[in-house]
Structures are given as structure tokens and as C-alpha cells.
Structure 1
Amino acid sequence: MIRRMQRSSASHALSKSKAPPVPPARKTNTTGSVSDARAKMILKEAVDAVVNSFAKHTQGYGRVNVVEALQEFWQMKLARGADLKNGALVIYESVPSSSPPYVCYVTLPGGSCFGSFQNCPTKAEARRSTAKIALMNSVFNEHPCRKISDDFIEKAVADAKASFKGNTDGPNSGIEAFRFMLEANKGRTMLEFQELMTVFQLLHWNGSLKAMRERQCSRQEVVAHYSHRTLDDDMRSQMALDWIAREQESSGIISRELGNAEQELEAARLAGRELRFPKEKRDILMLACSQVNSVNGLC
């Protein structure tokens, strides 16, 4: 029934690096572009500071090859016993384009996704930009505050509620299943845990958790099943089919949801944030859109 629904070098580098400043609040009118430019400059300075610190500690001097350093970081974590189901492979994905700026995404072992956060004139520069933000986040992920704890869980649940505008369908909602899943994974770090978390975010966004609850699936059953699942093409296809069914009931819903997902992904990418959830939403909706479009020209 459920089947149907659905890396001490880093720590040392961290100790010598300051946390990236929080970008200033977005301003309006003519000051908006100045605020955005300042936020991007602060982000670039923070990323460069962490990358340079990592380079000095691991190589002693010289310029670091961030693409190689990122792969080495996760291979080191795996060698030291990190629980990485699919090994230490770092996967890059370039967005097809015939002209700059070029965009690239990287998915880390554990499932976290980051994207190039600068205007990149070449595909190689886009990959380096992506590796920089991912390496910075990988280093900061070693800090104890990144481990799943009671305080972390409360904040994550509050953020989840806010992202769904408080529509949690009561005390036994998908949000509560999300909390249960986090509590079952205390002690792990978020980058090591991101794919599993994204699975549950998608199940809630897609309405699948609500459907499972209506079929009397317990939280324990749902968490036990999806804790052993990866976000693969089969799961994406199943969710795309759900959106195709919604399109038949409410024409244009896929196109509207896709537009929102693309805006969310782009804003998160330029801000240097983790991207797996918005990127998966966009990919699922694009799959649904292409299938609908092949039939009747919609999307």
C-alpha cells in the first residue's frame, strides 16, 4: 500500500573560519539592486574565506582546485566512517544553455544540492562556483550545531509549517510525520540526511502523506519504508502521475506550480542556499508537464 503512494581537517578549517554574515534584509524600490549586490558580495567573500582556509590547512599554500577538494572532502568522510549509502560520489549537472550566464548544480553524498551562485561566463566557471558553495557548506556541516538535535528539530518543523503556510491538516498531519522522521535520525548531520528529508518534504508537498494517513498507514510504517528509499526516477514518475491527475481536474495547475517552483529554485540558488527540495519539485513538475504537453499541448 505504501509502495503505491509513495566528511579533523574540516573541523580545523572551520575553527579558523568565521561563519558567513547573514545578508541584509531585502530593500525595496531603488535600493533593492544595491541590497542584492551587497548580499551577493558578502556571500562570495564568505565562500572564498572558507575555501582559502580549507586550502591552507590541507595543502599548506597555493590555490585550491575546488572541484577536486570537494570530492576529496567526501572521500575522507567516507574513509572515516560516514554513513553514505551511495558512496562519496559528487554529481554535477549543467543546465543546457547556448550562451552565458551558465548554471550548474551539484548533488553531494547524502543528497544535498547546491548551485552556482555567481554569473558564470563559462561552464567550467559555473562548476567551480558550484563546488565552492558546496565545499563551504560541507565544511560548516562538521560543526556540532549541524547535527539533528531536539532544538534543531523544533526549528525544522517550524520552518516546514511556514513553508506550507500553516496548512498542516491537524495534529496528525504530514508535518508530524516529518517530526517523527527527524527524531528517528538524531545525531546525524543535515548534509548526510538531506535526501531522506527531501523525500518526506516531497511526500507532504505532493499530498502522499495525507493519502497514506487516510489509508491508516502508521508513521512508523511510512518512516521505516522511506528510510530505505532513494529519490529515483521511479519515485519522480509516480509523483508526476499524481500531478497529471490534478491537471485533469484543474487545468493549468501544473503550469502555475511549475512557475512557482522555478522562481523558488532561482532565488535559493542565487542566495547560496540548499536546493534539493525546490529542484526536485521543479523536475517532477517538468516531467509531468512534458507528458501532458505531449498529449494535448498544455504547459
Structure 2
Amino acid sequence: MTEPLIFLDPFPRNEAMVYTPDTAEALARMGRVVTHFGSRAPDDLVEQNLAEMIVLVGQTAMPKERLDRAPNLRAILNVKANWEPNIDYAEAAARGIHVLSAAPAMAPAVAEFCIGQAIALARGLPQANALFRTGREKYGIAGNGRAVSLYDAPVGLIGYGNLGRELVPLLRPFTRDIAVHDPWLSDGYLATQGVRPVALDALLAQSRVIFILAGVTSENEGFLDAASLGRIGEDALVILASRAEVVDFDALLAEAASERLRVAIDVFPEEPAPADHPARNTPNVLFTAHLAGGLAPSYARIREMMLDDIGQILKGLPPLRMQRADPGLAAKMRSR
């Protein structure tokens, strides 16, 4: 029998992230492997392999016309943490093709990072470090004038997907007062998760700590506008951890610059951020360069999930580890 063809086109993931020697060995035991790294696979290479392709790993464009030329395709595994608008999700679903994302593999590291950001903002750690380095530090209670604690703080999560589900257990030792706004999820479901479903305006007004975890879609881009940000209580902590496009970025910077809010930002409308971006001169913000999820344990989880699900699919069984695309929702996503 002809070996199943597994086609790897994982850019912007590189070889070290998704095709380590042990991963390559495991895939070779499953079938014939064709790889392309360093850029999106050229069209001619994709077309040469479409007819035999059983599993596609990557972000290769798969409109209906290409799906028509891939009669044996059983699965598309996106090893990023998003849904790109270059796949005909409805057509893939109609053909029984599994479309999967590695998003669950990144969530634990991002959730951990969020906790670190919240504590740093609450206790004023960046400012304390700067004061010490310039000889202006104050010791003990004298240096804790604006410090607050996460313990018993009312926390709000905007969005409750993979990241929210990983973050809530890490918040539990600090507080039981966790509110969630997610218009894609029912109040009943959120209640089963042990969180309090609330309207967006109530969450903004009532939360001492706000985690922005929502993905960006064709319907919610910029929904956290200047007016919404203005409803957040004085001196609240705001952690932007998902996609910058869901918020009016300039308005968020202005809220931080005025010292009305304490803000942590790990994602930007354009990455890398331009050298002259106003963010670089905005005070009272804890900036990091999209560091939350991209570390070695996350990529190890991606490889593990990918191998598990490819094995399942080649056995004719449903995948178990990666996130399945809902055709309607995936088609609305606008992640980069």
C-alpha cells in the first residue's frame, strides 16, 4: 500500500519548533513526509502533492478549488494558535476534513504569564526596580503606597476560550470573585465553570483586575473603544494578552499615560512594533514583545498534540488533542 503523505508547511513556525529529530522520526514511521521551511510553501510544491496529501500541517491556503484537487485529504493541522481566513472551513467540514489548531498548547504558558503581569502591576514591581536603580527606593511600607493584592480582588475575564480556561485555575488561590464576559458562551455554561457571567459594562465597572483574552473577529474588532475603557474603575489593572485588534490601542495607551489605569501589554497592532511607535514613550505600562506563549515547553506541547492527532487520524479515529474549527466561527476570525 502507498504510504500516507504528510505535508509540512508550518511557516512562521520553524524546524526547531515543530520538526525536531524525534518528531521527524515519529512522522516517518507514520508515512511519507514532505517538508518546506522558511516561508510558505510555493504553489508548485503544494500542487505537486495535493492529490496524495492525507495530512497537511501548516497554514497553507486551502480554498475550495484546492480542496477539489486534494481528494484524499483528511486533516489540516494549524500549528499556530489562530484561524486564518485562507481556508474554506465550511467546505472542509462538509468533506469530513478535520481542521485543527494548536491553540490549546500555548494557553498554559500565556496564563502563567498573565499571572506574572498582574502581580507585577499590582505590587508596582517595574517602578520599584527603576527607583532602586536610581537610588530613590523606599523600604517596606513606605515603598508600598500604591501596592495592592490579588487576594480577594474582583477579577474580570473578557473572553473565555483556551486561555481563560487555563487562567481561572491559577487565579483560584487568590480570589473566588471571577467574572467572565463572552458573548459566544451561554450563562449556563459559564456557571458550570465556576465563574460569574456578566455583561461587558458591568465587568468593566466592577473588576479590579481585567484580563483581555478575546480573539479578534470580523464582528468585534475594536469593540473595547475609548468609551468602554473609560468605564473601567480608577487604578484598575488591565492586562492585554490576546489580540491588540480588539481594543482601541491608542486609547488604552492614553489611559495608562494619564495614570488612571495600570496596564500590561504583550501584543501590538503591528509586530514588530515600529521604532517610532508612541507606545515606546508611554509611561505606566509594562511592555513585553509577544513573549507570553512562545517558549520551549509550548512548542513541545504542539509537537506532542500534533503527533497524537495525526496518529488518530491515520487510524480513522477522531483527533483528541488539538482544537477543532467551528466553520462559522473560524471563518470570522481575523488573527494574524
Could you tell me the TM-score, scaled by structure 1's length? 0.28
Higher relative contact order (CA 8 A, sep 6+): 2
Higher strand fraction (1 or 2): 2
Could you tell me the TM-score, scaled by structure 2's length? 0.26
Higher helix fraction (1 or 2): 1
